[in-house]
Amino acid sequence: MTDARFPDGFLWGTATAAFQIEGAAGLREPSIWDTFCRTPGKVYGGHTGEVAVDHHRLWRDDVRLMAELGLGAYRFSVSWPRVLAGGIGFYDALVDELLSYGIKPCVTLYHWDLPQELETEGGWPERETAYAFAQYASQVSAALADRVELWTTLNEPWCSAFLGYGSGVHAPGRTSPADSLRAAHHLNLAHGLAAAALPASARTGIALNLGAVRPLTGSAADLDAARRIDALANRIFTEPLLRGAYPRDLLADTASVTDWSFVRPGDEALIHRPLGFLGVNYYTPTVVSAASDGPRDDGHGGGEHSPWPGAEDVAFHQPPGERTDMGWSIDPTGLYDLLERCAREAPGLPLLVTENGAAYAPDLHDPARIRYLEAHLAEVHRALADGAPVEGYFLWSLMDNFEWSYGYSKRFGIVHVDYETQARTPRSSAHWYARLARTGALRAGS
């Protein structure tokens, strides 16, 4: 393989999320993840995000580290609970610091940390939460939009809806199939309302953890299982976003769960607003079959309840071969497939890889992570060569952090964090990525 060169202007960045890195819990309102962490048995080791990796205190050092690595962009999320507590100034200063180093700030408005007070009032299954989100988006926009061009409304709304309200393995830990579908719609609505609240000068998108859904075999039953999961993983979001309507097969598949009466006239038009870009998050493919007695581990933390309403009988399979520390199979072709599909279904819409990365052991020398990243970026380059309008790549994650229900047991960072001292040490992968960001050349065997 010869060098794969990315185009000039390609955006090289890293990504984080507020609850996973900031800490300073006393300077914000409680979120659903604070409550979830305090619930025995929900989070590995009883870990919490109260301190996390102390980014709220160490943010200047972290920005300087990004600059030393030569990163062109930083995708971070704003904590809604912190804004409620009057903490928008933290993000105002962070944006200024990033710009002073020539790093493009990319703001995500929601990365799963719903204020607990809104969950107490019903959370995402309630329509009022979408309107509250639009008000919050307006407040953040008023503070930051003069300096921030790229905005992501929601990160992985599938996880918020189906892991939070379906399987219960994420906060708030509820297990209602009907509520998970209600939540998915109100998250879609929240995106549309928030996008309308941002200025016309903003490039507004959404980050979806689209599934590269594949049938285990070519049988009619397995093909139909893949269709059903594709509707719940992908088209429940992409169809209203890109077409202005929910897919008919999704409505039919879930008719035994809900009548979808929570979708009001005009909702789908509100969701179907022009996008400035579509964000794609990818880690591992999804392989399914129709076998009712097959395995149920879909890579999302197990649990007694399914996150797939109306498709509880579908089996999920982990392909053989190398896996990351999350137990996820490694198949970079899934990223190519998703980028190619997005380019085909939304011609001309700019694409960003808003998350991609791997968890491995805490070692500072991490050749397995470098191999993972190189293989996936080779597929990004292949998609570019085939005409997909991919404009940038955000590696997950800048540094080790709180990995949701896994606590601090899984490490995605290209920067190692000593959780006792909060010392940051770039791994081999950080230096590898810094060279790539500097040269734009993906070298064979690097």
Element (H, E) at 206: strand 203-208
Q: Taking the mean position of all CA atoms in its chain, how far away is CA 265?
A: 29
Q: Judging by DSSP bridges, how do beta strands 104-110 and 150-155 pair with one another?
A: parallel
Active site residue 312: no
| Max Cα–Cα distance, the chain, nearest Å | 57
Residues 441, 333: Cα–Cα separation, whole Å? 20
DSSP output for 271-324: H-PPPS-EEEE-SS-EEEE--TTS----SS---SS-SSTT-TT-EEE--SS-B-
- The residue type of 188 is N
Inter-residue contact 127 to 270 (CB < 8 Å)? no
Alpha carbons within 13 angstroms on the beta-carbon side of residue 48 total 16
DSSP output for 34-54: HHHHTSTTSSGGG--SSSTT-
Q: Please tell me which residue in 29, 97, 119, 156 is annotated as part of the active site.
A: 156
Active site residue 239: no
Q: Please tell me which residue in 268, 355, 374, 379 is annotated as part of the active site.
A: 355
What the block records as the tokens of 192 is 């549309």
Catalytic residues, by residue number, are 156, 355
